[in-house]
Structure 1
Amino acid sequence: MLLPFLVIANDKVSKNATNKQELIWFVEDKAENKHLLDENYEISSPSTYIERLIITSLQKYNIIVKRSSSSRISQSIKDQNNVCTANRANTKARRAYSLFSSPQSFYLTHKLYRYKGKRPLSHALLNEKGQIKSLSHIFKVYPNHTIGIAKGVSFGEFLDKQISKLEHEDIYYLGGTNRVTALESMLYSERFDFLLALPIDMEPTEKQKQQLEYYPIAGAPPYLIAHINCSNSDLGKKAIQDINLILEQLYQSPKYYKAHQKWFSEKELSLLQLYLKQRFTDKTYISKD
């Protein structure tokens, strides 16, 4: 179901679009995306802010914005030749049926959160760097504990593989439009013992911070990279090419830097830039100038 603001925004994009190719742009149906195309609403998430810039820059297409669940979006990309969506992990499974853009935005990777631990976390869970050895190792040490995980989304190939090895009864899955805030609230109300979440999604109060613990997962990439994902078709290829051109310009813009600066310190931005140069090329993705 389209929200009113999406219909209005889409009307703006669609004016004089008779001869434009139609591109269906799916937005994941969660509360954080509610104001995606409302220009009067300031977006703090780097990926959503950049997604808005890309949609409004794709003037050569008649963009139809629709809201849906992550699983239905994946199926639509498989079944239709004119579908795109943003903020997706680039995984081998998805590459088998779809196309990905250059990096859209960057996040500090998922951490394992614990709240109000009655005892210190067992050292048997941690390696010498203070990292969780693996998600499955948690339940060898704490067999009666549970972990909260968002339903129907990808955590990136590394963590997806670790999650697949967990027993179903050890996981508290939650989907729906408010799953991000709901999972955090459920951790604080002790509905489960651990939560796997992005730091950007955690908004504890000052009091909650005092009892909130978080741990990195050994072997997990330090950053989660979001991409635009489109149908594997001639139109999808064309859209990806146009999106990449927009991204190339955005990488060097103050807007792109500012979007990430809200969630990374100057030191963290420097480390991110170094990581990207080592993994990809000497291209600068995030620049002050």
Structure 2
Amino acid sequence: MSTGLKADWLFTLQYLRCLSASFLCLFFTTSVYSEEVASYDIDFIFFDSTRAEAFNRKESVEIDFVVKEHAQNMLNKKIVFQVLPSERVWLSLRSPRPTCTPAKIKTKERIDEFLFSLPTGITASSRIFSNNANESIADVLNEQGEIKSLVDLANHVDDFLLFHTRNRSYGNFMDQQIKSLAPAFRQELASTTGFAAEVRLFLASRSSYLVATPILLHRAYPDVLRESFHYKIAGSPSYSLGHIMCNDTVQTRAFIEEFNTALKIMHANGVYTQIQIDAYPLTLHKEMNELLDESGLRTSLDIADRYN
């Protein structure tokens, strides 16, 4: 990294700290004078206390975590932290109060209801994890070692049951795979319990399968990643993009516009790309670089909408 870029990077990291990529929420309290949006407070609302504690220890540098100091420094907004149940987060997103949440996947259903920023993060798409080393699934794998479909897997193995969380998107492709399962093969969990409940049930062998991204397990549940097997589903995309997602208000439209401008500045000086790479362990840097190239994020943030 050049001296100038390194200085920019260190300066930015001083002001940009990570918020959790999967579970947090911002609330904007604003005042409007004439047609201008006044400076407003932003509350980042964690509904995963483990991730809130990780943030307080400043353990991560992922782009979706850097919103707090980034917004405060570059957008001149006040940041306040809280922890709330995820059900209340979704209620707030559907209230008149200006509300946003980072690290959300853009889905066809959400795009009709919410505003989205430019991509703030990229990760390998969801995989199917198995904790049953003795179960043979060779008959439902294609030549590339991918599961032909989730329905094929469910019909093939004994006592298949997959837990999934209400209001959580696993990416458009995986969401459709889950919806295609017969009701007997899937069970919805309340969003108040979140992904942690899916992992607990997986570890307790209540389910032999878990839908997750490798990087999420690497950060939060490394033992699960080490002790399980994972497969892609044929036809699934290579990556998923995260965005800040807001309800549609005058204030949130203003914030999204400002935030997108700030992201472009970060991208132009190389900070954006470096944060994406540094969010991953060294063993995954090669894959991360490949995802940045495949998605087009290395060269531009203005990539076409992808519902992954």
Tell me if TM exceeds 0.5.
yes
Match of 1:80 in 2: 96
Q: Is the 8 A contact 2:87 2:191 kept in 1?
A: no
Asked if 1:214 is matched to 2:251, the reply is no
Which amino acid in the other structure matches residue 151 of structure 2?
A: S
Q: Is the 8 A contact 2:72 2:78 kept in 1?
A: no
Match of 1:154 in 2: 169
**What's the CA shift string for 1:149-196, capped at 9, x where partnerless?**
233311122111221222333224444666434433432331111111
Deviation at 1:65, TM superposition (A): 4.7
Distance 1:47-1:137 versus aligned 2 partners, 3 A rule: farther
Instruction: Give the % identical residues.
Output: 21
Asked if 1:246 is matched to 2:262, the reply is yes
Asked if 1:268 is matched to 2:287, the reply is yes
Q: Distance in 2 between matches of 1:199 and 1:157?
A: 17
Match of 1:43 in 2: 59
Deviation at 1:51, TM superposition (A): 3.1
Match of 1:3 in 2: none
Q: Is the 8 A contact 1:24 1:82 kept in 2?
A: no
Q: Distance in 1 between matches of 2:198 and 2:149?
A: 21
Q: Is the 8 A contact 2:72 2:79 kept in 1?
A: no
Distance 1:24-1:165 versus aligned 2 partners, 3 A rule: farther
Which amino acid in the other structure matches residue 49 of structure 1?
A: F
Which amino acid in the other structure matches residue 119 of structure 2?
A: P
Match of 1:22 in 2: 40
Distance 1:32-1:57 versus aligned 2 partners, 3 A rule: farther
**What's the CA shift string for 1:221-257, capped at 9, x where partnerless?**
1111110011222222110011112212333217624
Q: Is the 8 A contact 2:116 2:245 kept in 1?
A: yes
Count of residues in Structure 1 that have an aligned counterpart in Structure 2: 262
Distance 1:108-1:225 versus aligned 2 partners, 3 A rule: same
Q: Distance in 2 between matches of 1:59 and 1:82?
A: 16
Structure 1 unaligned residues grouped into runs of 5+: 1-12
**What's the CA shift string for 1:54-76, capped at 9, x where partnerless?**
34335433555554444543443
Q: Distance in 2 between matches of 1:262 and 1:244?
A: 27
Match of 2:248 in 1: 232
Structure 2 unaligned residues grouped into runs of 5+: 1-27, 30-36, 303-308
- Compute the TM-score of the two structures, normalised by the length of structure 2: 0.72
Q: Distance in 2 between matches of 1:257 and 1:145?
A: 36
Deviation at 1:269, TM superposition (A): 2.5
